[in-house]
Structure 1
């Protein structure tokens, strides 16, 4: 298992790196990222930035038992670009590594530093017969 601080820090570094970009455009190309693990960090950072910039209530990524990955943002129901199956798998591993949510279910706050400020998100994981999901909830 990886160091929680190292994974968390990596996501924050990507937030800082991509803070002035168009997160939605960058999310649409992350599935072609050659390093899938790095793609997961990048996608998580871009999802956080997109949610903050667009006043999202939450963003959920769901992986079906067949491996299909879908992303839904809730501010107005909208489907966001999928990171693809390989990067999607790494996203789930990364979230588990950062939060240490065991057994595929639980919810924890996650403080995320972005440039000169920070935000507290709530990260939840659920698992049922339809698949596994990670939800990032943004402050109201």
Structure 2
């Protein structure tokens, strides 16, 4: 494009009509609360904190399975936590980081499964209970 053919981005002239102008006379819309909507000030990706019917924080976030695996790990034992429902990858990363710190070992999140190095089923189960999950020991 030549320098003289630039399009102005200052908003330009008024369109001449408001496509929502006719909605003002309906009356039903004036009963809506004014101000920011319910999601104002929240992160776009953040999920609202679930509460029970009594308004208490939800402590039953679902059942998760804790397994001890050795296959395909070069003979090393790995504690795997799976079965998470309704939580995102970021929260799984945070849980994995906390488990690593408490257990004093390494770990990762692969395909939605938290893997912690070593047989650390008991400390992992305690962390999951504190986070509101119901851990179940599965497998051997």
| TM-score exceeds 0.5 | no
Which bin holds the TM-score, normalised by the shorter protein? under 0.3
RCO comparison, higher one (Cα < 8 Å, 6+): 1
What is the TM-score of this pair, normalised by structure 2? Answer: 0.27
What is the TM-score of this pair, normalised by structure 1? Answer: 0.27
More helix as a share of residues = 1
Q: Which has the larger radius of gyration?
A: 2
